[in-house]
């Protein structure tokens, strides 16, 4: 049984690859909210060896599943309501992501026109390849 601690409403993200919880914390914008967030690192896991877990107390509607699916669609999303897990959501690879990562190509129009949104499009779902919508530079997911 997964211990969900003090969360009344929110979500528990399980099976995060060890070491990636902080990256996900920032990419989901959790540093910008006042809610309770618990980052649990290097939890022993039979399946993964080690894993990270993120617990967030918040309105469940505010979770951006596209961002999570982009980062790692193997993460388990447990939806918590009334202190209990009421639902497990499956993540899929989003077709397009906006303003999650930036294009690394210095000649890309997004590095010149600062106000343009950073859009990446899924071009190869088998290999999980995303490319910049403007210059087709391959996305680098990991920091
Ligand atoms: Zn680009």
User: Start-end ranges of CATH 3.30.70.140 in the chain?
Assistant: 9-90
Q: How far apart are CA 13 and CA 128, in angstroms?
A: 21
* Centroid of ligand 1 to alpha carbon of 114 (angstroms): 12
Give the tens place of pLDDT for each residue, 8-31.
Answer: 899 999 999 999 999 999 989 899
Residue 67 in 3-state DSSP? helix
What is the total residue count of the chain?
Answer: 143
Give the tens place of pLDDT for each residue, 50-65.
Answer: 999 999 999 888 888 8
What is the reported pTM?
0.82
Q: Does domain 9-90 have CATH number 3.30.70.140?
A: yes
* Centroid of ligand 1 to alpha carbon of 26 (angstroms): 22
Q: How far apart are CA 123 and CA 139, in angstroms?
A: 11
* Alpha helix segments (H runs only) across 1-143: 21-27, 65-71, 109-112
CB atoms within 10 A of CB 77: 19
């Amino acid at each position: 049984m997964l211990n969900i601690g003090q969360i009344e409403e929110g979500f528990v993200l399980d099976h995060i690859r060890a070491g990636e919880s902080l990256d996900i914390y920032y990419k989901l914008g959790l540093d910008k909210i006042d809610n309770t967030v618990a980052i649990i690192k290097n939890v022993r896991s039979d399946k993964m060896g080690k894993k990270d877990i993120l617990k967030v107390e918040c309105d469940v509607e505010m979770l951006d599943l596209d961002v999570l699916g982009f980062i790692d669609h193997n993460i388990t999303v447990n939806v918590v309501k009334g202190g209990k897990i009421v639902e497990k959501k499956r993540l899929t690879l989003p077709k397009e992501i906006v303003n999650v990562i930036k294009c690394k190509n210095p000649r890309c129009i997004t590095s010149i026109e600062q106000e343009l949104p950073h859009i990446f499009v899924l071009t190869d779902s088998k290999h999980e390849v995303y490319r910049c919508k403007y210059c087709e530079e391959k996305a680098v997911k990991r920091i």
